[in-house]
Chains A and B, each alone.
Chain A
């Protein structure tokens, strides 16, 4: 159903000029604000950055303990829950001599790849992880030069991230 609301146009509406003047006023106001009060909406990006919320979901990382051993125990929960199917884990047993933790960290990922081009940054992996190993940092600058670089391997994931990045 269409509702037609007709509006009575006065003489001043019909000659448009007052409306034009109002339009000009809007832009000159914005001009003044941006130029003299520095209230521009955009920022000088690489130098200035926006502050995102603490819960922002950006580039993944895997948390490590004091010995730089990853907390991940290859339980495959994240790989299972991932809706984009972009996590590939190959598990193996941690050699006894490298494992001062005993039963706690018997299993480890031999490979842990995340295809960032497929990832939809839903954060389910982070939710699913029983070890709080995989996390999403706040880094949103993820541009890479080659496709290969966008597949994050274990070395990349274990990089040092302070807080949530």
Chain B
């Protein structure tokens, strides 16, 4: 043994991304041809198309000179459904991401393919990343398709083309939606690394999603109330309390997503933090922000989403590195 072997053992030779391409391609083609993907697509179309169809009817009847008419398709909550497209997506995207990721690693264990694949020249890094990117690409394909359908039906039914800024804001929305899906994909893959049983990992991922959807807002407001003094004596006190509540809410990826989307698709949005009505005085109501200002506004939310996606993926990676390969 050369003397360098002792400390050399810490370094691995060869790129950690060897084999990333084949894994990515296989995951993508597996997802796209799977029955599960067809079911998820149906699900997405049902949830996405309904609000859009009703929104389009409403928008057609109320012809107003709105410069951002096209974006209203996404944000208007039609009277008969009470659910806007973006709110529907806030449900559907996590479900889809969880559906794609909850069995990505443990199913390889259960099929006993993992040790065979890892005995090929590939690091675990590439396998996990390839699976993640494959899932993300699948998600992106589905969302882009949905987006194009919405755009196309808007074009047909409203009878006017979207303006450039509207398309740009729409593309921004698409990217935020994919990042949001990435967070939940990473979460479900994390559970698929931890649990050998696919049912358990699906249950945990769905449980976490329900927790953030239903319980977390209640908990956040309970915590905020706990910090509240018996009597609020100043406006500052009131504001800081509201800000605490908002900060807690923002620990949920769903909040980050909806804030970012509102900022993008409602150009009138001037701030995402808590504002007292008095502070709004002087600001021209209803005056839309230019695109770059809107982007600046939602930037923290977008980085928050991307950062949490990376953190959760890194956690899954660390656990996966230490896992025994034998079934």
Do A and B truly interact? no
Interface residues in chain B, defined as those with a beta carbon under 8 Å from any beta carbon in chain A: none
